[in-house]
C-alpha cells in the first residue's frame, strides 16, 4: 500500500493516481475525503470501511428476500371452501327423514382432490349422522351440489349442528372445516 503523502504543512489530502485503491477513491470520493481528514490516513482503512458497508448491504438484502426464497409451491397453495347447508324440513321431526342440501364452493387457487365429510353433531358432541365422499376433485372456483338424507332416531331431542370438513385425500390433512347451521328437533 501507499504510505501517506506528507509535506511541510501536514498530511496531503491529494489522492494517488495509481495503485489498487485508486478506483475505490474515485467511486467513493466522500468516503476518501472523510478518511483523508483523519491524521495519518492510509489507503487500507478505506478498503475495510467499504467491505463493511458492502457486507451490511448484502445482509440486509438477503434478510429482506428470505421469505421469497423459502416459499415452496405447497406453501403458496391456498385451499378455501364456502358451504351453504339447508335442512328440509326446517324444523326436523324425530323418527322422520332429514334431508341436507349442501352447496360446497371451492375458493382454492388450484386443483385439489379432497374427501368431503358431512356430519350432523348433537349438542353433547356425539355424531348423529356422517357421510364421506372420497376423492372429490375440485377445480378452482368450482361449485358442488348434493342432497343427502338420513332417518333420525325416534327418541332424538334437542339441537344438532351440521359440520362440513374437507381433507386432502392423499395425506388426510384437514384443509378446511366449516360450521353449518344449528337445528332443533321438535
CATH class of the region 76-184: mainly beta
Cα gap 153→129, rounded to integer Å: 11
pLDDT tens readout for residues 55-105: 788 776 666 555 444 556 665 667 788 888 888 888 899 899 999 888 999
Cα gap 170→135, rounded to integer Å: 9
Residue ranges of the domains in the chain? 6-70, 76-184
pLDDT tens readout for residues 91-142: 899 899 999 888 999 888 888 899 999 999 998 999 999 999 999 998 988 8
DSSP-assigned letters across all residues of 119-137: EEEETTS-EEEEEEEEEEE
pTM, to two decimals: 0.57
Nearest to 177 by CA among 95, 97, 82: 82
**β-strand partners of 183:** 160
Question: Alpha helix (H) ranges present in the chain?
Answer: 22-27, 29-37, 43-70, 73-76
Q: Strands 159-168 and 174-184: what pairing?
A: antiparallel
**β-strand partners of 159:** 184
**β-strand partners of 7:** 10
Cell of residue 112, nine digits: 385439489
Amino acid at each position: 500500500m501507499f504510505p501517506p503523502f506528507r509535506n511541510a504543512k501536514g498530511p496531503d489530502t491529494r489522492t494517488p493516481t495509481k495503485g489498487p485503491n485508486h478506483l475505490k477513491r474515485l467511486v467513493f470520493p466522500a468516503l476518501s475525503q472523510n478518511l483523508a481528514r483523519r491524521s495519518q490516513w492510509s489507503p487500507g482503512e478505506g478498503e475495510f470501511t467499504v467491505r463493511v458497508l458492502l457486507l451490511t448491504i448484502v445482509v440486509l438484502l438477503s434478510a429482506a428476500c428470505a421469505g421469497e426464497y423459502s416459499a415452496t409451491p405447497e406453501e403458496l397453495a391456498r385451499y378455501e371452501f364456502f358451504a351453504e347447508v339447508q335442512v328440509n324440513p326446517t324444523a326436523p321431526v324425530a323418527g322422520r327423514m332429514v334431508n341436507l342440501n349442501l352447496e360446497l364452493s371451492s375458493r382454492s387457487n388450484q386443483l385439489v382432490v379432497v374427501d368431503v365429510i358431512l356430519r350432523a353433531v348433537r349438542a353433547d358432541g356425539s355424531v348423529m349422522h356422517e357421510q364421506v365422499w372420497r376423492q372429490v376433485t375440485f377445480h378452482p372456483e368450482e361449485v358442488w351440489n348434493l342432497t343427502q338424507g338420513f332417518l333420525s332416531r325416534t327418541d332424538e331431542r334437542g339441537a344438532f349442528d351440521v359440520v362440513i370438513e374437507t381433507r386432502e385425500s392423499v395425506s388426510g390433512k384437514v384443509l378446511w372445516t366449516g360450521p353449518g347451521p344449528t337445528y332443533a328437533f321438535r
